[in-house]
Structures are given as structure tokens and as C-alpha cells.
Structure 1
């Protein structure tokens, strides 16, 4: 024996410097331990997505802008939903950015394993890096939309406040936990059953219209009354996230400036943050379920692809 280290094992000095033996799996903490690989995957996804594109990142502005114009004309002007609702443009766009982020994170995460088939089946990479990199790419696209929303709200007299900040943070936390949980669950199932990604598109479309994005939630309450259907709608985490964004950029912004905040039909009776605790608990449960299913399925990804 010459005292040299065995293949695949690290010396004491290498361990002291933070080196790790290749192939170690840290489960759902892999994105934290493998930050360098995560950054590489994010850069790869951004380059691939905009390869050969003339507008590039400008599509982050074009798509929500077209959505906003279509919805505002069809619903705000033709159906006159903007009448009697102050700053309807801010109300509408603050909901649009939520459902857009929901749809992109959910859809991209679901397709993250099948979309990286060559990497998953040929080399070892922690499986969690793929849905997490997809989520980060979606956040990169979300930032320009958020910037447009902030500028639009400022034009209506919005001034940042502690209430608005807390509502925004809660809304983002609920939204990301929910979408990452659903996305990791979808990614695990989509590796075995390709039909799942088609269901994701349907769910995103339904979520856009069943969330209080283009209409006030009070209209739903008036229609459903105090039935079980109303409570299922009101306690949906996506509904709660949309309403928290409304609180952040609409209720405690333009409505205060225009003096309409006293209107009881514009402020939820349960307070400015609504049922945020229900949304947070539900989203956390979905995230935990999605993570567990993904962890148990990832070892079969190479064979299933």
C-alpha cells in the first residue's frame, strides 16, 4: 500500500476545501449544494429558448402586453367591467402576471425532465436541478412583467406601503410553493406518461378563467352564495395569491388615492390578506407532496425516457 487515496474518495485536504465526491445525492437540497450546475442549466435554458429569436427577452413584455390589451378591450370595454371599478387596468394586469407565472412555472417544470432527455439519460445530474432551473427561468421572465405592473400602478398613484409589501411577499410565497409542488409532481408523472403535459395546458387555461383576474371576486360570491362551491373557490391557493396581488398593487394603491377604499365591495370582509394562512398551508402541502413523489420517481427517469 502506497498510502494514495482510493479512486472516488476525497483526501482530508479536499474535504476541508468543500469538495464532494461525485454522484452524492442530497435530495431536495440538491439545488443548494449544486448551485454551479443550477446556474449552468438556467443559462442553457435561456440560450436555447431565444436561439434564432429576433425579439429575444422582449417576448417577456410582448405576450403579457397582448394579453392585457385583449382582455381589457373584450371585458373592460365591450362588457364594461371597468365601469364602477377604479383602476381596472391595474386590477387586471396584477392578476395576469400571477396566472402567467403560474402557467410558465407549472408547464416548464412538468416538461423539464422530458425536455432534457439527453442529459437525464446519459450522465448523472441531480434531478431536482431541472425543475428548479425552469422555475428560475420563469422568474427571469416574470421580472419585466412585475416592472410594468409597478410602473402602471405608480401612474395611478400607488405608493408602496407595509401592507402592500406583506401582501406581495405572501402572494409570491404561496404562488411559488404551489407551482413548484405541482411542477415537480407533473415532471415525475410526465416522464412516464406524456399525456400529463397536455393536462397541464388545460389546467393553466382553466385557472386563468376560474381565478379573479378579469372580474371581482364579489361577483363570484354573489353568484354562488355561501355554498361549498364558494368556499372551494375562495380557499383555492391560486385565488388567494391573485387576491394578495390585488391587495398589494390595487386595493392599497389606486383605491386609497381615489378615495374608493371605503367601498365594502372592494375590500374583503376577512381583511386585506384574506385567507392567506389557508393558501400558505395548502401550497406547502402541495410542495411537500410534489417533492416526495419526485424524489421517489427520479431514479427511474433514465429508464422511462
Structure 2
């Protein structure tokens, strides 16, 4: 290799870097201003020409909630009533607390997996830390998540909501698990999607299953009752299952006179496993992303 000439202001230990490869997620922390610009850009572009604008963050989950509540709560009898005493009390709160979290995850992962291809024009022109794009998609989803959580809190207050600090803390941990999982999977599928566009369709299928593979519409006890303890253990290995249950524990359980229990060993076993699984997903996602990002500009 030809020696690099050293100028008056050049360090003799200057490191040669592979073109197109940065320092990973550490670059995102160093370029917080760029991250803010990307988040602002995504929000403005998404609602450009829209009459309702950010109000869609209220409308879309509201329509989804009404459809599921009527179909499952009323028609299929999941709402506790005089004719159905075995149903879930305050099923509306139970349902909406799961919907707001799963909607955040679905939007975050869906947008993150398309973020590199969607910003191909920018990526081909200048170099930016490429992780900024999937991470900015997660932040945009968090912006949309905030008004939904406000509605949830207001609805809970009307039903006598009185949570403990542990319950509120568990909801924060549950959100962090969902955000980490979306970030890790977003890095994975965002990178793969540059080379194989089939990744978008695979993500769409995963998100379609995600709502039904976690206790958003039904209770974990139904899984145990229908499939047994072994199937419940497999079911609890899904970090989204644990994440959704933390929201039920924080928002729904305080409104139901504490009549229902969490899955066995929830805090001792399943919550730590979910958190570690989400972290491992981020680490693997960062590793795969860095291995593939060197040819992003050429492939795009």
C-alpha cells in the first residue's frame, strides 16, 4: 500500500476508513442536529398537502380501535357484561392500551425498513451516517405515539385510573423494549431492502402477524387456557408480548380493581429476557448494517 504523505497538520496516526462506513449508532449520537433535521423533514413531507396533518395520528388509531372493539368486544363477547361475566372489564382500555404500542412498533419498523431506499437520492449525493435514516423513522413514530398516549391517559382517568410508580415504570420499560426491537429490526431490514426489495413484503407480513401474535386483542390467559403452559412460555419469548403486557399492567389493570394477574414470573423472567432480546437485536442489526452499508450508494 502506498504510504499516505504527511502534511504539516496531518497526524501520523491518521486512520484509513473504508468509504461509506462510519462508526455506527455512535455517529447518530454525534450528529443529533442532523437527526432533528431528518425528523422534521419526514414529518413535513408526510403531511404536505394534507388538510388534517398531525390529526391523522388521532384518526387512524381511533378508527382501528372502533373496528376491533365492535368486532371483538361486542360481537365476540370479549367485553365483560351482564350476559358475559367472563369477559374483560374495561375492554376498551385494554384494547386501546395495546393498540397504541403495537401501532408505534408497526409504524417504526415499517418506515425504518424503507428508510434507506426512500432516501436514496440523498444517500447517493452526500455521505451521512446511514443509521440516521432508520433511527429518524423511529423518532417520527414516537412523535405520532405521543398524542395517542395522551388520549389513553385521559380515557384511563375517566375510569378511575390510579397507577403505582412501579406500574408507570413498567410502561416506560415496555416502550423502550418496543423501540429497541423496532430499531434493531429496522437496521436489519433497512439494509437488506437495499439489495432485495422482497424485504418490504416480508416486513409487511411480520407486521400483519404482530398484532395477533401479542395480547393486544385478547388476554394471555386465553393462550394458556387453549394451548397450555408450554405454548405460553413460547408465546412469552416474543418481546412484543411482554411489552404490551407492561402497558396493560400500567394502564388497564389499575382500572379493573386489580382482578387479573400478569403471566407467571413476568418480572423475574420474561421482562429481563425481552429487554435482553431487544438489545441483542440492536447489536446484530448494527453489525449487519455496517457489513452491508459500504455498497448502499452503488446498489441504489
**TM-score, normalised to structure 1's length?**
0.87
2:81 maps to 1:78:
no
Cα distance between partner residues in 1 of 2:123 and 2:235: 38
2:282 maps to 1:290:
no
Cα distance between partner residues in 2 of 1:214 and 1:138: 21
Partner of 1:67: 64
Kindly state the Cα deviation for residue 98 of structure 1 after the two structures are TM-superposed: 1.3
Kindly state the Cα deviation for residue 159 of structure 1 after the two structures are TM-superposed: 2.0
Deviation string, structure 1 residues 138-181 (Cα, Å, up to 9, x no partner): 10000011111111111111124212122111101111111100
Cα distance between partner residues in 2 of 1:24 and 1:34: 15
Kindly state the Cα deviation for residue 247 of structure 1 after the two structures are TM-superposed: 0.5
Q: Quick one: which of 186, 189, 192 aligns to 1:186?
A: 189
Task: Report matched runs for 1:29-44 at 5 Å.
Answer: 29-44=26-41
SS state at 1:275 partner: helix
Runs of at least 5 residues in structure 2 that lack an aligned partner in the other structure? 1-6, 12-19, 81-86
Q: Quick one: which of 87, 91, 96 aligns to 1:88?
A: 91
Q: Quick one: which of 244, 255, 260 aligns to 2:246?
A: 244
2:58 maps to 1:56:
no
Cα distance between partner residues in 2 of 1:27 and 1:286: 15
Further displaced range: 139-148 or 153-162: 153-162
SS state at 2:195 partner: coil
The 8 Å contact of residues 245 and 262 in structure 2, kept in 1 or not, is answered as no
Partner of 2:237: 235
Cα distance between partner residues in 1 of 2:138 and 2:38: 11
Runs of at least 5 residues in structure 1 that lack an aligned partner in the other structure? 11-22
Deviation string, structure 1 residues 172-227 (Cα, Å, up to 9, x no partner): 11111111000100101001001101111110011111211111110011111123
Q: Tell me how large the CA RMSD over aligned residues is.
A: 1.9
Cα distance between partner residues in 2 of 1:24 and 1:245: 38
Further displaced range: 269-278 or 32-41: 269-278
2:170 maps to 1:173:
no
Kindly state the Cα deviation for residue 48 of structure 1 after the two structures are TM-superposed: 0.7
The 8 Å contact of residues 42 and 137 in structure 1, kept in 2 or not, is answered as yes
The 8 Å contact of residues 177 and 275 in structure 2, kept in 1 or not, is answered as yes
Aligned residues: 280
Partner of 1:134: 137
SS state at 1:111 partner: helix
2:46 maps to 1:46:
no
**TM-score, normalised to structure 2's length?**
0.89
The 8 Å contact of residues 87 and 250 in structure 1, kept in 2 or not, is answered as yes
Task: Report matched runs for 1:248-267 at 5 Å.
Answer: 248-251=250-253, 253-256=254-257, 261=258, 263=259, 265-267=260-262
Kindly state the Cα deviation for residue 26 of structure 1 after the two structures are TM-superposed: 2.9
Partner of 1:163: 166
Cα distance between partner residues in 1 of 2:22 and 2:192: 21
Q: Quick one: which of 94, 98, 103 aligns to 2:101?
A: 98
Kindly state the Cα deviation for residue 92 of structure 1 after the two structures are TM-superposed: 0.3
Kindly state the Cα deviation for residue 273 of structure 1 after the two structures are TM-superposed: 7.6
Runs of 4+ in 1 over 2 A off after TM superposition: 23-27, 265-274
Kindly state the Cα deviation for residue 271 of structure 1 after the two structures are TM-superposed: 5.0
